[in-house]
């Protein structure tokens, strides 16, 4: 019997099965002319028994669609030997999404980046279908293929249009297609329960199927699961029709037991908290049974676009030793950004210290900067989040770890393969946690280095400010004294009275102000700068704290975990092959038993690596970080207070100088007026009064300048108040 079959330009082997369905099968084939690998869909006798218009519908649909996210039609040819037409399509070497989800690595759903890729590609494919007034009617992971392009990109594509047909959004249909777990409840009632419901169905049934598929991709499980699966059909219908609006999952764990309703995605799925929030809203809209709340395609495409357009911003929450992901709207600004950080970290907006690339993040973006213009972050190069008030660092490892299964004493090739697959699933969970904690270990060292750099930069900046201020005060003192002396000389020339007492007091006062506000403040700044910039006290303290601690990057914990998982998967594949052969020879059974032993041993090793090496290591590192941050936070606060003191004094000094100079201008204007009156050839009584008035103004202005100078005693009081917290911080140290 020949396994080779062919058409005019293609040939395929019936042993190379890619998939089978009720109406036919898909085989891997090859183009006779250029050797290009292809997928060939053939049809069985049951398919040929369908009405002719139904048989050709798939051909018509495939000819109409042309999109990157829909499997490309290459040809429709007659099979040799007169077996009917075949559909030749591009070969998707990545397999179906169903098979991908069936891999133990994805037992709890796809990784976040891959999930977003599926969401983007499938919604784009569906958009193309709707633009052409087509409804798929059998959306499910088995009909979604993974294509690997020549440049290595992954592209997910819709396939199997055997149930597809043209349908306007406001049109209805009555025929039944689809897979029962993914069917809209109204279709399920008629197709599965066989109830004589006279309902018609619209194009939005695809949205329900997409919602179930999306939940499956996110979690690795179906959203609606009665106990016993398909045999419990009435409960399945009850779950999907009686659930409240906003409920995205319902599970029954015992025969006739209660339904566990859920409005959130499970904690064990691989999506971050930041993405879960948006995906949950999307699922709630897609899995809506209330006819008044069912989404339109337009609403669906809008919501998906809203998710995909958000900017991913990586945050490392130092106080919890935890990586956080913010999906930020491109038009939102800094206030919304801080609010979203607070939602995920519990660090109040006013207490957030955000550092990025050795700088404060608020110095990189402005309050009004839209999210689309925020700098790119990476998981290994995030924004570091510290708290101003909370200097505790607490590491809370994930507590729920699935249990490694144990093999029974007797050998069963059927059950052993399933147990091995479960062991691989648990092993992948351990591996992901080990990788995550290893990244946190490295980020902890990085955050210490960045915080220390920022503190050093701030202390250097304050020192430079202080030196600049000292120069400005000296210059201002000389200028003011010069003004005062010139003013006194003018008064002496005009009145014949010499008064240097005020000048001496002003000069003494300025010297005192300069000493207390500049020298004393400068001393505190210089001491901090010397200790933490020149002598690098914080860096040395961190080196002391972590000396002797196990470094996960040096022990290569993540790399070891990946090696162990490969061993587990090799053993699982071995047991899968044994299951396929059914009967084992004596020697084969001995090797089978050895693989079972190997799975148990490797599982124990990877679990021990996580629980006895990685978690204790990151816990000790967190404790060291807590000790270090208590010290460094104090230095940081001192630097901020000193910076504020310098700025405050600079502002007050500028105001004081401006007041004195203004008074000096007015003073000399009065002198000029008095001189003009005195030089007049005839002094009338009225002019004499004006002259006396001018003299009074001069003396008044002189007193005003003196009062202004004495008012700067308030600066001294303010300085004492500002430096009080510094003294308290020193006392705490």
Report pLDDT digits (tens) over 140-160.
Answer: 999 999 999 999 999 999 998
- Burial string for 286-295 (b: 16+ CB within 10 Å, else e) reads bbbbeeeebb
DSSP string covering 290-339? -TTTPPPHHHHHHHHHHHHTSEEEEEEEGGGTEEEEEEE-TT--HHHHHH
Residue range 291-311: mean pLDDT, rounded:
92
- The confidence score (pLDDT) of residue 171 equals 40
674, two tokens: 């008095």
Across 461-465, average pLDDT: 90
Cβ atoms of residues 369 and 334 within 8 Å: yes
- Between residues 545 and 667, which one has the greater pLDDT? 545
d(CA 693, CA 729): 56
Residue 221 backbone phi and psi in degrees, to 5: -130, 160
Mean pLDDT, rounded, for 238-266: 94
Averaged pLDDT of the chain = 85
Share of the chain above pLDDT 70, in %: 80
CA 340 to CA 215: how far, in whole Å?
24
Binned at pLDDT 50, 70 and 90, residue 190 comes out as confident
Q: Which of 730, 724, 640, 646 is nearest to 455 (CA)?
A: 640
Given a contact cutoff of 8 angstroms between Cβ atoms, the answer to whether 525 and 466 are in contact is yes
| Stretch 428-456: mean pLDDT | 96
pLDDT at 502: 47
Q: What is the pLDDT of residue 524?
A: 85
Considering only residues 513 and 609, tell me which one the structure prediction assigns the higher pLDDT: 609
**Which residues are designated catalytic?**
138
What gap in Å lies between CA 402 and CA 416, rounded to an integer?
18
Q: Please report the pLDDT score of residue 512 as a whole number.
A: 65
The owner of tokens 């050839």 is 681
Name beta bridge partners: 353: 386
Nearest one of 57, 9, 59 to 34, comparing CA atoms: 9
Contact (CB, 8 A) for 441 and 622: no
More confidently predicted of 420 and 296: 420
Q: Tens of pLDDT along 323-380? A: 999 999 999 999 999 999 999 999 999 999 999 999 999 999 999 999 999 999 999 9
Instruction: Determine how β-strand 224-225 pairs with β-strand 249-252.
Output: parallel
The torsion angle over the Cα atoms of residues 474, 480, 486 and 488, rounded to 10 degrees, is -120
Mean pLDDT computed over 614-621:
96
Banded pLDDT at 473 (limits 50, 70, 90): confident
pLDDT higher than 70, residue 199: no
pTM passes above 0.95: no
Distances from the Cα of 179 to the Cα of 183, 206, 384, angstroms: 6, 12, 47
CB-count burial class (<10 Å; 0-12, 13-18, 19+) for 232 = middle
- Span 502-526, average pLDDT: 65
Average pLDDT over residues 432-446: 96
Instruction: Evaluate if residue 507 carries a pLDDT over 70.
Output: no
Regarding predicted confidence, which is higher, 551 or 51?
A: 551
Choice between 126 and 470, residue whose per-residue pLDDT is larger: 126
pLDDT digits (tens, 9 = 90+) for 623-638: 999 999 999 999 999 9
Q: Quick one: average pLDDT of 478-492?
A: 68
Q: What is the mean pLDDT of residues 527-551?
A: 93
375, 386, 313: which is closest to 347 by C-alpha? 386
Tokens of 154: 């992954």
pLDDT of residue 178: 52
């Amino acid at each position: 019997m020949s396994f080779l079959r062919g058409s005019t330009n293609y040939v395929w082997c019936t042993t190379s099965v890619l998939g089978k369905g009720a109406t036919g099968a898909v085989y891997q084939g090859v183009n006779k002319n250029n050797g290009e690998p292809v997928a060939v869909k053939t049809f069985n006798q049951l398919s040929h028994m369908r009405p002719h218009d139904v048989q050709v519908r798939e051909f018509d649909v495939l000819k109409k669609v042309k999109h990157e996210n829909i499997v490309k039609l290459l040809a429709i040819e007659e099979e040799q030997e007169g077996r009917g037409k075949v559909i030749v399509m591009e070969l998707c070497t990545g397999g179906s999404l169903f098979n991908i989800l069936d891999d133990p690595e994805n037992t709890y759903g796809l990784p976040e980046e891959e999930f977003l890729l599926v969401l983007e590609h499938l919604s784009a494919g569906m958009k193309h279908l709707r633009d052409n007034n087509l409804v798929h009617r059998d959306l499910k992971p088995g009909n979604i293929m993974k294509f690997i392009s020549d440049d290595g990109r992954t592209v997910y594509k819709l396939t199997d249009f055997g149930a597809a047909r043209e349908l306007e959004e406001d049109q209805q249909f009555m025929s039944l297609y689809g897979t029962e777990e993914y069917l809209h409840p109204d279709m399920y009632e008629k197709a599965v329960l066989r109830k004589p419901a006279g309902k018609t169905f619209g194009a939005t049934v695809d949205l329900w199927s997409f919602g179930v598929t999306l939940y499956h991709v996110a979690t690795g499980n179906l959203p609606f699961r009665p106990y016993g699966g398909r045999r419990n059909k009435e409960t399945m219908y009850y779950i999907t029709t009686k659930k409240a609006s906003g409920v995205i999952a319902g599970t029954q764990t015992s025969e006739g037991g209660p339904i566990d309703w859920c409005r959130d995605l499970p904690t064990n799925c691989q999506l971050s908290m930041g993405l879960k929030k948006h995906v949950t809203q999307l699922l709630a809209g897609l899995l809506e049974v209330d006819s008044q709340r069912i989404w339109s395609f337009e609403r669906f495409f809008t919501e998906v676009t809203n998710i995909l357009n958000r900017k991913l911003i990586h945050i490392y929450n130092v106080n919890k030793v935890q990586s956080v992901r913010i999906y930020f709207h491109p038009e939102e600004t800094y206030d919304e950004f801080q609010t979203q950080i607070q939602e995920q970290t519990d660090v109040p907006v006013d207490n957030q210290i955000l550092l990025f690339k050795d700088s404060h993040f608020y110095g990189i973006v402005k309050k009004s900067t839209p999210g689309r213009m925020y700098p790119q972050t990476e998981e290994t190069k995030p924004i570091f989040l510290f708290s101003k008030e909370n200097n505790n660092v607490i590491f809370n490892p994930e507590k729920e770890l699935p249990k490694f299964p144990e093999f029974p004493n007797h050998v069963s090739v059927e059950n052993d393969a399933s147990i091995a697959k479960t062991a691989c699933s648990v092993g992948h969970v351990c591996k992901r946690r080990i990788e995550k904690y290893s990244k946190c270990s490295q980020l902890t060292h990085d955050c210490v280095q960045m915080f220390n750099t920022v503190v050093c930069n701030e202390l250097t900046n304050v020192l430079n400010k202080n030196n600049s201020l000292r120069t400005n005060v000296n210059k201002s003192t000389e200028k003011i004294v010069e003004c005062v002396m010139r003013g006194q000389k003018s008064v002496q020339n005009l009145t014949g009275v010499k008064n240097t007492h005020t000048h001496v007091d002003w000069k003494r006062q300025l010297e005192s102000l300069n000493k207390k506000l500049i020298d004393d403040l400068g001393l505190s700044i210089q001491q901090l700068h010397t200790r933490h910039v020149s002598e690098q006290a914080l860096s040395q303290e961190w080196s002391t704290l972590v000396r002797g601690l196990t470094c996960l990057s040096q022990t290569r914990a993540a790399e070891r975990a990946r090696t162990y998982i490969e061993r587990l998967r090799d053993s699982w594949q071995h047991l899968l092959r044994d299951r396929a052969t059914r009967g084992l020879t004596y020697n084969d059974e001995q090797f089978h038993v050895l693989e079972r032993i190997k799975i148990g041993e490797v599982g124990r090793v990877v679990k021990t690596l996580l629980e006895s090496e990685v978690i204790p290591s990151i816990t000790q590192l967190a404790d060291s970080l807590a000790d270090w941050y208590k010290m460094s936070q104090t230095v940081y606060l001192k630097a901020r207070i000193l910076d504020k003191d310098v700025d405050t004094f600079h502002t007050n000094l500028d105001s004081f100088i401006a007041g004195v100079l203004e008074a000096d201008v007015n003073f000399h204007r009065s002198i000029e007026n008095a001189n003009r009156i005195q030089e007049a050839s005839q002094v009338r009584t009225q002019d004499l009064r004006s002259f006396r008035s001018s003299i009074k103004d001069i003396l008044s202005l002189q007193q005003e300048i003196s009062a202004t100078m004495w008012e700067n005693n308030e600066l001294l009081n303010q300085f004492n108040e500002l430096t009080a917290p510094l003294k308290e911080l020193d006392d705490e140290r």
